[in-house]
Structure 1
Amino acid sequence: MFDDLSRTTCFFGMAKHIDFVSLRLFVAVCDEGNIARAAERESLVASAVSRRIAAIEAEIGTPLLVRGRRGIKPSSAGETLLRQAREILRSMDRLNAELSEYASGVQGHVRVVATTAVLAEDIAEDIGSFLELHPGVRVSTDERVSPEVVRAVREGAADIGVLWDASDVGDLQVEPYRRDHMCLAVRSDHPLAGSVQVRFDDVMDQIAVGVAPGGMVDTLLRREAAIRSRSLVHRIQVSGIDAAVRFVAAGLGPAILPREAAMGHAKASSLTFIPLAEPWAERRFVIITRGQSADSATTQLLVQHLKSRTLG
């Protein structure tokens, strides 16, 4: 990691006179794979774009673009510049956006990305209570799958990520958030409706409704089934918890769902949720950031608020 940082520092030390306009034009050329299209995108003539690229190459002392049969692509050095240029330009765009918000009276902007499971539960209420305390702050949210949540935070596209703690978050800062509990969802007239708890082994063959194929819950259940040398066969698979609740209520059969998320749906009141007696049935959600040294004061304030809402 130190070597990578040294190479990057050296690279940009050599390129200290490159301006933001040139960086933006270089990114446009790489995106379009064609100088003429990049010039049109940036409302310039192609010769002006070519001169800018040539000036960067002269500054660095190495070619940045390779011309091939399918258009222009960055060279090895160009890939390094492209990666860093995107980060610099994103940072400048965010800076300009946040400064303009201060000018209009908004005291900070925090970008939150979260998984579907998190958004289905209490985070909306938690952010809402934060905004009541801090009316001058703006919070934007986006829904991503777990690997994309991690990548968005690591690359600076988001300030805060919230996801299941089963995900690999690398060296990002991790704080505890809420929990939910996996339960067998059945209609109130189901033979198991009066059970205090059930074991996965005993109900595996009854799980008729599968949720979000390939998602974290689906992966977890299939992994546990595989450990037992068995497999899950669902009568129907749906994309989300709301649909699963409706199909269970319609009598298609049980589903394993996170109780806290499922209870928020309208028809959940007609269902019974029986806790799974398994150590993996309790899911813990976490908050991830790049760490206090990289987080704004407003981001840290929201993290502390979310932590205060953590359920024991």
Structure 2
Amino acid sequence: MRDLDLTTLRLFVSVCETGNIARAGEKASIVGSAISKRLAQLEHQVGTPLLVRKRHGVVPTAAGQTLLEHARGMLDSAARIERDMQSYVAGGRGQVRILASVSAMTESLADDVASFLRRPANRNIRVDLEERVSPEIVRGVREGLASLGVCWDATEHKGLHARPYRKDTLCVVVPQGHPLAAKRKLRFADTLDYEHVSLPVNSAVQLMLQRNASQLGRTVNHRVVVTNFEAALRVVHAGLAISLVPREVAEAPAASMGLRLVPLAEPWAERRFILCFRDAGSLTPAAQMLVDHLASLAPP
């Protein structure tokens, strides 16, 4: 059976509800003969009579009554689709998926998204967040797995559009009493004599650290690899290794753990994050509104 035509179903429902083809035609501004032709085609399509012609009108057959119930459901669903799509166009409803680095997720992104969703105009927008390492973020956005990616701007993102977001500053976190704890600032080379706790080796930060160590003719000695900064600080607190972490993440927990944060005197210690997406035309109204909100939080 061919796909049922919604216009014909709408007319069929109107005929059943009014009990009269002429009155249904008046409501739809269609001549009765045109409706009769559509109904005959519908009966031919489903292969059974749907209406019984009476002296003063029509009534549905048993098959017609069944079709009437289905038709009402289909028309109701179609109306909801139309309303939802209109809401998307107006920017009041939508779903946005974000892939974000652990730094962005831990520092500010969750709070920034929450502030966006608290606005009354955005109450029907859903934002899904998923943590990924930076190369996977870029690949996921390129492949259409997410509308938006949030990662370090040093990540290779060729082919994607980008807008600035927030920034942070890497520092060295060490236990009190560690040989580096008395330093006022440190060069990256100063840390390479000690074992590190780090994030996964394919994260943007670790790739950058390995590259800088290689330029110094050295390697980073990864004693422990963890997936989040809280675990990294606990490893440092246990005295097993030192770590390079964003000051914005480490400041409060480091104070409670008695850890020392030492500024990192490197030009790359200050990191800027970006919002990356395929192009503005690919963003839904909801995604564009979220991008504008997050970009407005970028420092000057």
Task: Please confirm whether the aligned pair reaches a TM-score higher than 0.5, indicating the same fold.
Answer: yes
The one of 137, 149, 155 aligned to 1:149: 137
Give the root-mean-square deviation of aligned CA atoms: 2.8
Any idea what the Cα deviations from partners look like across 1:144-184, whole Å, max 9, x if unmatched? 23233223222332111111112222222100011121111
Task: Out of 137-146 and 170-179, give the one that drifted further.
Answer: 137-146
**TM-score, with length taken from structure 1:** 0.62
Which residue number in structure 2 is paired with residue 276 of structure 1?
264
1:228 matched to 2:251 = no
Which residue number in structure 1 is paired with residue 181 of structure 2?
193
1:246 matched to 2:242 = no
Q: In structure 1, the residue corresponding to 2:93 is in which secondary structure?
A: coil
Any idea what the Cα deviations from partners look like across 1:55-88, whole Å, max 9, x if unmatched? xxxxxxxxxxxxxxxxxxxxxxxxxxxxxxxxxx
Q: In structure 1, the residue corresponding to 2:235 is in which secondary structure?
A: helix
Query: Which structure 2 segments of 5+ residues have no match?
Result: 4-80
Q: Which has the higher contact order (CA 8 A, sep 6+)?
A: 2
Q: Specify the code of the residue in structure 2 equivalent to 1:195.
A: K
CA 1:268–1:205: 2 relative to 1, 3 Å: farther
Which residue number in structure 2 is paired with residue 47 of structure 1?
none
Which residue number in structure 2 is paired with residue 51 of structure 1?
none
CA 1:267–1:245: 2 relative to 1, 3 Å: farther
CA 1:228–1:245: 2 relative to 1, 3 Å: same
Identity across aligned pairs (percent)?
40
User: 1:196 deviation in Å?
Assistant: 2.6
User: 1:231 deviation in Å?
Assistant: 1.6
User: 1:264 deviation in Å?
Assistant: 6.0
Q: In structure 1, the residue corresponding to 2:112 is in which secondary structure?
A: helix
How many residues are treated as equivalent by the alignment? Answer: 216
Which residue number in structure 2 is paired with residue 212 of structure 1?
200
User: 1:265 deviation in Å?
Assistant: 4.7
Detail structure 1 runs of 4+ shifted over 6 Å in the superposition. none
Instruction: Give the Cα–Cα distance (whole angstroms) in 2 for the partners of residues 189 and 205 of structure 1.
Output: 16
CA 1:291–1:99: 2 relative to 1, 3 Å: same
Query: Which structure 1 segments of 5+ residues have no match?
Result: 1-18, 20-95
CA 1:109–1:236: 2 relative to 1, 3 Å: closer
User: 1:267 deviation in Å?
Assistant: 7.0
Which residue number in structure 2 is paired with residue 126 of structure 1?
112
**TM-score, with length taken from structure 2:** 0.64
Which residue number in structure 2 is paired with residue 108 of structure 1?
94
Task: Out of 212-221 and 121-130, give the one that drifted further.
Answer: 212-221
Q: In structure 1, the residue corresponding to 2:129 is in which secondary structure?
A: strand
User: 1:310 deviation in Å?
Assistant: 1.8
Instruction: Give the Cα–Cα distance (whole angstroms) in 1 for the partners of residues 180 and 251 of structure 2.
Output: 18
The one of 287, 294, 300 aligned to 1:306: 294
Largest Rg, 1 or 2: 2
Task: Out of 224-233 and 261-270, give the one that drifted further.
Answer: 261-270
Contact 2:162 2:274 in 1 (8 A): yes
Instruction: Give the Cα–Cα distance (whole angstroms) in 1 for the partners of residues 174 and 254 of structure 2.
Output: 15
Q: Specify the code of the residue in structure 1 equivalent to 2:184.
A: V
Q: Specify the code of the residue in structure 1 equivalent to 2:151.
A: L
